Structure 1
C-alpha cells in the first residue's frame, strides 16, 4: 500500500507518556509522503505533565506534519463532508475517550474527527492505551472491535502482573496498521505480547 497523497488524521488523547512514541510514527508517515492532519483533545492542548508541556507537544505536531493542529470541534467537523480523511488514527486512545466513542459521545475534536470519518465509511484506527481495557472498559473495547470500519493497532498487556487490566497498543505497528485499514483489513494478530519481558514465565 502506497501512502503517498493519502490524508491521514492523527488524533491524540491524554495518555501523555506515549506521545514521544507517536511522534516517531508520524515521522514515518511523513517519509511515506502521506498528508498528516494532527488533531488533539482538550486535555492534550491544556495539560502540562512531567512528560512535557502542552504547547511543546502542539509545536512538535505542527513541526513534523507541516499542518496546523485542529483544536476545536467546529474545526474537526469539516473532515466529514468537506475535507474527508482517508483514514483517522487515534493514538493514544485513553480509556475515557474509548468509553465515549463506544457510546457515541462526541465531546472533543478527536472524537468529532472519528465521527466525521465514520460518516464517510472510511476507516478509523485505534491505538488503545488504558489501565482498564480488561476491566470496566472491557465491554466498550469489545463493542468497538465488533464495529464496522473500526480497526486496532495490535495491543497487549503492558504490565500484566502489576496492572492486569491495563492494555497498550504497540505503536511500532501504527504505519502497517494504517496500510491494512486502508485495505479494509485488520492487521493480525490483534492481541500480542507487549514485550518479551512480560510474557508468561
Structure 2
C-alpha cells in the first residue's frame, strides 16, 4: 500500500450542522482517509437527531462511521480530553457554519464542535475552518474578520459561491483540503485564501 500525502496525520473533523453540505463533508473525509490521515469524527448533536431532506441522523452516523472507521464523538465530555492528551495534529471544522464561526470568534463553548476547537487552541495547535454560510459577508462578517487575524486559526480557501443570487454567501473550496491541512500543520495560511468559483 502506498503512503498518502497525509499519512499518519491525526485529524479531528468537527462537523457543524450544515445539513445541505454533509454529502460534501463526508466525501472530503473519505479523501483525507484515502490520503492516509487518521480521522476522528466529532459531530454536532443536531446532525444525529434531526432528520432533513438530506438524510436522517442514522444515515449520517452510518456514512461517517463507514468512511472513518472510528467511533463518533458526540458530547463535550467525550471531546474535552483531546486537549490535555493532545489527540490531534489538526482540528478541521467542516462544515463550519456561520453559527459555529460566530461561537468560535466569541469563545463560546457549548457543543462538541466548539469543545474540539477550544481544546486544540489550548495547546497552540492548528484549527482549520472550512466555512460555508449564506451570511458570512453580512452580519457575520465581523466574526470572519476577527478569526482571519486570530492566532492558530486557518482557513480552507474560500470564495463567493453565488454572488448574484446570494451576494453574502461564502463557501470553502473543499477540493483544496489536502494542501490546506498541510499548510495548517506548518502553522501557515494556504494562499491565496480568496479563490473564485467558476
Give the TM bin, normalised by the shorter chain.
Answer: over 0.9
Matched, 1:143 2:142: no
Structure 2 unaligned regions, length at least 5: none
Are 1:156 and 2:159 matched, yes or no?
yes
Q: Which one of the candidate residues 33, 38, 41 is aligned to 1:38?
A: 41
SS in 2 for 1:104: coil
Shift of 1:2: 4.4
1:168 equivalent in structure 2: 171
Among 86, 101, 105, the residue aligned to 1:102: 105
Alpha-carbon separation, structure 2, partners of 1:121 and 1:5:
20
Determine whether 1:22 maps to 2:17: no
Worse-superposed segment, 164-173 or 17-26: 17-26
Q: Distance in 2 between matches of 1:179 and 1:21?
A: 20
Q: What are the superposed Cα offsets for residues 85-124 of structure 1, whole Å, 9 maximum, x if unpaired? A: 1000001111111111100001100110111011111100
Aligned residue among 121, 124, 130 for 2:124: 121
Which ranges of 4 or more aligned residues in structure 1 deviate by more than 4 Å?
A: none
Q: How many residues align?
A: 195
Measured on the aligned residues, the alpha-carbon RMSD in Å equals 1.2
**How far, CA to CA, are the matches of 1:43 and 1:168 in structure 2?**
21
Alpha-carbon distance between aligned partners in 1 of 2:161 and 2:14, rounded to the nearest angstrom: 22
Determine which of 90, 98, 101 is the counterpart of 1:87: 90
User: TM-score under structure 1 normalisation?
Assistant: 0.93
TM-score (normalised: structure 2): 0.95
In 1, Cα distance between equivalents of 2:93 and 2:184: 13
Q: Distance in 2 between matches of 1:167 and 1:99?
A: 14
Does the CA-based 8 Å contact 2:109-2:115 persist in structure 1? yes
1:67 aligns to 2:62 (yes or no): no
Q: Any idea what SS the aligned residue of 1:151 has?
A: strand
User: How far is 1:56 from its partner?
Assistant: 0.9
Deviation at 1:43, TM superposition (A): 1.6
Give distance in 1, aligned partners of 2:61 and 2:182. Answer: 25
SS at match of 2:95: strand
- Is residue 25–residue 175 contact of structure 1 (8 Å, CA) maintained in 2? no
* Selected match of 2:59 from 40, 53, 56: 56
Structure 1 contact 153–169 (Cα < 8 Å) conserved: yes
Gaps of 5+ in 1: 197-201
Q: Retained in 2: the 8 A contact 1:154–1:173?
A: yes
Q: Deviations over 1:121-149 (max 9, x none)?
A: 11000011111100100000010110001
Aligned to 2:9: 6
Query: In structure 2, how many angstroms separate the alpha carbons of the residues matched to 1:2 and 1:183?
Result: 14
